[in-house]
Amino acid sequence: MQERLTIVKVGGKVVENPETLTSFINDFSNIAGKKILVHGGGRSATAISEALGIETQMVDGRRITDAETLKVVVMVYAGLVNKNIVAQLQSLNKSAVGLCGADLDVVRAKKREVKDIDYGYVGDVVGVNVEQLLDLINNDVVPVVAPITHDGKGQLLNTNADTMASELAKALAMDYKVQLAFCFEKKGVLKDPEDDNSVIDTLDTELFQEYKAEGIISDGMIPKLDNGFAALKRGVDKIVISNTDGLKNGFSQGTNLKL
Annotated binding site for substrate: 41-42, 63, 158
Amino acid at 229: F
Closest CB to its own copies among 46 and 255? 46
Closest CB to its own copies among 129 and 205? 129
Buried b (16+ CB within 10 A) or exposed e, 46-74: bebbeeeebeeeeeeebbbbbeebbbbbb
Query: Cβ contacts of residue 236 below 8 Å, gap of 6+?
Result: 166, 169, 170, 173, 178, 179, 180
Closest CB to its own copies among 80 and 230? 80
Closest CB to its own copies among 88 and 256? 88
- Write down the least CB distance from residue 208 to its own copies, Å: 35
| Distance from C-alpha of 134 to C-alpha of 61, rounded to nearest angstrom | 31
| Distance from C-alpha of 250 to C-alpha of 142, rounded to nearest angstrom | 18
- Write down the least CB distance from residue 102 to its own copies, Å: 4
- Write down the least CB distance from residue 91 to its own copies, Å: 4
Interface with its own copies (CB under 8 A): 22, 48, 51-53, 71, 74-80, 82-84, 86-88, 90-91, 95-100, 102-105, 141, 148, 150, 152-156
Which residues make up each annotated binding site? Answer: 41-42, 63, 158
- Write down the least CB distance from residue 67 to its own copies, Å: 11
Contact 186, 196 (CB under 8 A): yes
β-pair type (4-10, 34-39): parallel
